[in-house]
Amino acid sequence: MRPPEIRTSTTKIEVPVQFSRLLDIAYNLWWCWTPSARELFRMIDPLRWDRYRNPIELLIKVEPAIWRGLQNERAFIRAYLEVVREFDDYVLPEVPTWFDRSHGDHDRGPIVYFSTEFGWHESLQVYSGGLGILSGDHCKSASDLGLPFIGIGLMYRHGYFRQTVDAEGNQQHFYPDHDLQRMPLLPVVDAEERELQISLELDGREIHCRVWKAAVGRVDVLLLDTDVPNNHPADRAITSALYVSGREMRLCQELILGLGGVQLVEKLGLRPSVWHMNEGHSALLSLGRLADNLAAGASFEDALEQIRSAAVFTTHTPVPAGNEVFDEELVRKYVTGWASAKGLDAERLLQLGRDPRNGDDERTFNMTVLALRTSRAANGVSELHGQIAGTMWNDLLHDGHTIEHVTNGVHVPTWLGPEVGRLLGRYVGPHVEERSLDPDFESAVNAIPDEELWDAHMAQKRRTVELSRANALQQRARHGRSPDELRETETLLDPDALLVGFARRFATYKRADLLLRDVERLKSMAGADGRPVQFLFAGKAHPADRPGQELIRRIYNASLDPELRGRLLFLENYDMTSGRFMVQGVDIWLNNPRRPQEASGTSGMKAAINGGLNCSILDGWWCEGYDPSHGWTIAEERDDHGEHQDERDAESLYHVFEQQIVPCYYERDSNGIPVGWVHRMKAAIAQLTPRFSSARMVREYTDNFYLASRRTPAEPSRS
C-alpha cells in the first residue's frame, strides 16, 4: 500500500516547455545521488552549477540566451530525454521493488519516521552531522527499496551554523538566512490549493506551522515551519535554527516536532502502521498519540499499549548529553495547558518521562525514558552499542523486552566517488549497492586491475587536495595573509604522499587531538624523508561546547608549526560537500574515540566503499567491520577511561602508523603501484560495501522492526 500523494503548490520558475520536466527532477532530491541528473544540470550552465550545486538556484538564474542555445543542442536534448526516462523508471517502476517482492501482502498504512534533522544534500541545510546524514541515507534507501515511508521533521530557516576559524584558531559561528524559495522544497497545500497549516496551543498561545515537502525519490518528507506571519515574532523563531543552546527553545522545537507532527499526520488522513522515533528528540509524539487514543475512549493503560504496539525507537548514543533531559517544571509549563484542553491528566503524562532510578529530589523529564516506555521495540546502532544501551536502559522496557541493534549503514550511490564508481560499474555492473549482494561480488572486485583502481583512487585524491587548497586559500585571504603566503596554498598537501582524514563533530570523547599527544613524534612522521604522512582535519563543535572548540584551536595552531605546515591542515565549515571529498579521497580514515562512547560512526564506512582503509579504535561499527585484510586497530578492546587510556591509545596509534601503515603504503612495484595497499582497498570495497550499506540497514529495520507491527490492532480513528 503506497502513501497518498502529498499535494504541493506549483513552482514559479519558468523553463522552456521543451524542457519542462527539468522542474520535476529539480524538485526531487533523486538528482543528488544520480550522476546523470547532476551532469544534465551542469550542462545547462557549468559555472553556476559548480558554484551552487543546487538545481533550483541554477534554473532561477538561467538566462534566455542559454535556453535558446540548448534548444538546438542535440547532445543536451539526448541527455535530457535519457534522464527523464531514468527518472520516470525510478519513480514509477515497472519492475516490483524489493518491498513489493518481499512484503507484497502489506496492506496497512505507511511507516512514519520522525527525526530532528535530515541530511540529503548540502543545498538543503536541515542537518548538522551524523544523525542527520544517517536520517537522510535512511530515506534514500527506503525510496530505493520501495517502502511506504514518510518522514517528519522541522524546517530550519537558518539551518546549522557555518563555521570559520579566525587567525588565533577560534571557531566563529554564522547562521545564514536561507531563501526557501531557492531550495528543493515546495509548500504543502490542501484540496483547495490553500497553504496547509496546523496549529498547537502551547503555554496559553496558539502556534501555527506551515508545511514544506522535500521529495526524496519515492519518499516524501514533511518539514514543519513556525516562521509564518500569523505567529508572534517570538514564536516565528522556534524553528529558526538547529540545536539551539537555550533549553526552553529546544523544548519548543521538540513539542512542534512531536505533537505537531502527530497533528499533521492526522490532518493528512494518514493511518501509519509504524511510528519510528529516530532518537529521543521526537519522543513527544507519544503524548500526542496517547491523547488521540484516550479521546477515542480507551483507558490510559489500553491507550498506552495501543501506541506502544506500533512504535519503534532508535537510540544513537550512550553519551549522557545525547540523551536529552529537561527540567520537569519546564515541561509542565507547556504540557499542562495542552493536556487540560484535551481533558488529560498532565501529571500522569509527566510520569512517563521520569527516570525511576533518580531520587525524588531530581525531577527531570527524560526523552529517552519516554521513548522507551512508549515503544514496542528499541535498538542501538551497532552490536556493541546495543549491548551498552541494554545495560543502561533494559530495566525500563516493558514485558521483559531488551534493546536490540541494527548497525548503521550508508547510502552507497550518495557517497561513492565518480571515478571509483565508474570503475566498479565497468567491472562489477551498474547499481553497485544491489550488485554487492551477489555471491560473485568479491571476485568481481578482485578482478579489477590494480593500476586501474589506483588511478581511480588517485583522481579522487587529487580532487580532495584541490578542495583543501581552495579552502585554505579562502581562510588565509580572510586572515590578511601576504600574497606569497596565499601562493603557498598551491603546494599544500602532496597527492602522492599518504593522506589521513579525520572529520566529525568535535566532541571531547572523539579525541580529535590524540595525534598531538607527542608532537615531536608526529613531526617525525609528517616529515619523514621519502615517506611523509599528511593529516586532514575537519569538524564543528557546538557553539556551547567550549572544550570542543578548544580542540579545534589546538589543531589549527598545530597546523601553523613550521615543521607541520603543509602536512597538517584544518578545513573550515565541514558539511556534506567537504565530507564527500574527504571520504572519497583520503588513503586512511582515522577514528580514535574513547571506547565505548562511539555508538556507531558512519564516515569510515563511506571511506571504505571508495577503497579507503580504516584505522580505528575497536568501537561502534569497527568492532563488526574490522579485518586485518583491509584495516588496522588502535589499542585493545578495553573500556577504561581517562588520562592513562589516552596515553596508551596514543602510543598504539603512533606504533601502528610507523610500523604497519606507512611501510605498507610506500611499498611499490616497478610501476609505482602499492600492490599490497591496493589489495587491501579491494578487500575493503568487497567485504564492507554489502555489510554497511543503508540498503542492508533499512531491510533489517523492515523485516525485524517495522513489519512486526502488522499484527497489532490498528489505532482508533478520530473521524
438-477 pLDDT tens trace: 999 999 999 999 999 999 999 999 999 999 999 999 999 9
* 8 Å CB contact between 245 and 175: no
Give tens-digit pLDDT for 228-258.
Answer: 999 999 999 999 999 999 999 999 999 999 9
Give tens-digit pLDDT for 27-44.
Answer: 999 999 999 999 999 999
Q: What is the mean pLDDT of the chain?
A: 94
Edge-to-edge strand list for the sheet holding 533-538: 568-571, 533-538, 498-503, 588-591, 613-617, 631-634
Reported as a pLDDT band with limits 50, 70 and 90, residue 321 is confident
The pTM of this model reads: 0.96
Q: For residue 706, give the amino acid letter.
A: Y
Whether 716 has a pLDDT exceeding 60, the answer reads: no
Torsion over CA: 585, 586, 588, 594 (sign): negative
Reported as a pLDDT band with limits 50, 70 and 90, residue 399 is confident
- What whole-number distance in Å separates Cα of residue 622 and Cα of residue 602? 10
Whether 407 has a pLDDT exceeding 80, the answer reads: yes
User: Terminus-to-terminus CA distance in the chain, angstroms?
Assistant: 21
Model pLDDT, residue 718:
41
Cell of 447: 578482478
Model pLDDT, residue 227:
97
- What whole-number distance in Å separates Cα of residue 581 and Cα of residue 459? 11
Whether 714 has a pLDDT exceeding 50, the answer reads: no
- What whole-number distance in Å separates Cα of residue 541 and Cα of residue 555? 13
Which residue blocks in 161-246 are alpha helix, DSSP H? 233-236
Nearest residue to 350 via CA among 358, 362, 339 = 339
Cell of 331: 515541561
Domains in the chain, please, with CATH?
17-91 (no CATH), 98-409+700-711 (3.40.50.2000), 415-692 (3.40.50.2000)
- What whole-number distance in Å separates Cα of residue 623 and Cα of residue 639? 13
Long-range contacts of the stretch 37-43 (C-beta < 8 A, 24+): 37/83, 37/86, 37/87, 39/79, 40/76, 40/79, 40/80, 40/83, 43/70, 43/75, 43/76, 43/79
What secondary structure letter does DSSP report for 126?
Answer: B
Give tens-digit pLDDT for 343-378.
Answer: 889 999 999 999 988 876 678 999 999 999 999 999
Q: What is the DSSP string of 367-385?
A: HHHHHHHT-SEEEESSHHH
Nearest residue to 185 via CA among 149, 148, 160, 210 = 210
Average pLDDT of the residues in 486-508: 96
- What whole-number distance in Å separates Cα of residue 464 and Cα of residue 582? 6
Compute how many other C-beta atoms are within 10 angstroms of the C-beta atom of residue 635.
Answer: 19
Nearest residue to 213 via CA among 283, 120, 84, 141 = 120
Give tens-digit pLDDT for 689-703.
Answer: 999 999 999 999 999
Average pLDDT of the residues in 623-646: 87
Cα angle vertex 408, ends 403, 410, to 5°? 165
Q: What is the DSSP string of 331-365?
A: HHHHHHHHHHHTT--HHHHHHTT--TTS-TT--EE
Model pLDDT, residue 640:
62
Cell of 576: 556534506
Long-range contacts of the stretch 181-184 (C-beta < 8 A, 24+): 182/54, 182/56, 182/57, 182/60, 183/54, 183/56, 183/123, 183/124, 184/26, 184/27, 184/28, 184/29, 184/54, 184/55, 184/56, 184/121, 184/123, 184/124, 184/214, 184/215
* 8 Å CB contact between 463 and 581: yes
Model pLDDT, residue 342:
87
Torsion over CA: 74, 79, 80, 85 (sign): positive
Distances in Å between the alpha carbon of 244 and those of 204, 524, 546?
A: 23, 42, 15
Whether 644 has a pLDDT exceeding 90, the answer reads: no
- For 442, residues 6+ apart whose C-beta sits below 8 A from its C-beta are 686, 687
- What whole-number distance in Å separates Cα of residue 502 and Cα of residue 646? 17
Q: What are φ and ψ of residue 378, in 5° steps? A: -140, 150
Average pLDDT of the residues in 145-161: 97
Whether 715 has a pLDDT exceeding 60, the answer reads: no
Q: For residue 63, give the amino acid letter.
A: E
Cell of 24: 520535476
Residue 53: strand, helix, or coil: coil
Residue 201 is inside which H or E element, if any? strand 197-202
Over pLDDT 90: what percentage of the chain? 91
- For 690, residues 6+ apart whose C-beta sits below 8 A from its C-beta are 436, 437, 441, 696
Whether 322 has a pLDDT exceeding 90, the answer reads: no
Which residue blocks in 571-621 are alpha helix, DSSP H? 576-585, 603-609
Model pLDDT, residue 362:
76
Residue 211 is inside which H or E element, if any? strand 205-216
Model pLDDT, residue 639:
63
Nearest residue to 279 via CA among 128, 110, 502, 503 = 128
Nearest residue to 589 via CA among 558, 572, 614, 567 = 614
Model pLDDT, residue 695:
97
Nearest residue to 119 via CA among 127, 111, 107 = 127
What secondary structure letter does DSSP report for 92?
Answer: S
- What whole-number distance in Å separates Cα of residue 601 and Cα of residue 165? 25
Torsion over CA: 685, 601, 707, 268 (sign): negative
Count the residues in the chain: 719
Average pLDDT of the residues in 479-483: 96
Axis-axis angle for helices 576-585, 450-478 (nearest 10): 140
Whether 118 has a pLDDT exceeding 50, the answer reads: yes
Residue with cell string 554497511? 692
Compute how many other C-beta atoms are within 10 angstroms of the C-beta atom of residue 643.
Answer: 7
Reported as a pLDDT band with limits 50, 70 and 90, residue 717 is very low
* 8 Å CB contact between 571 and 538: yes
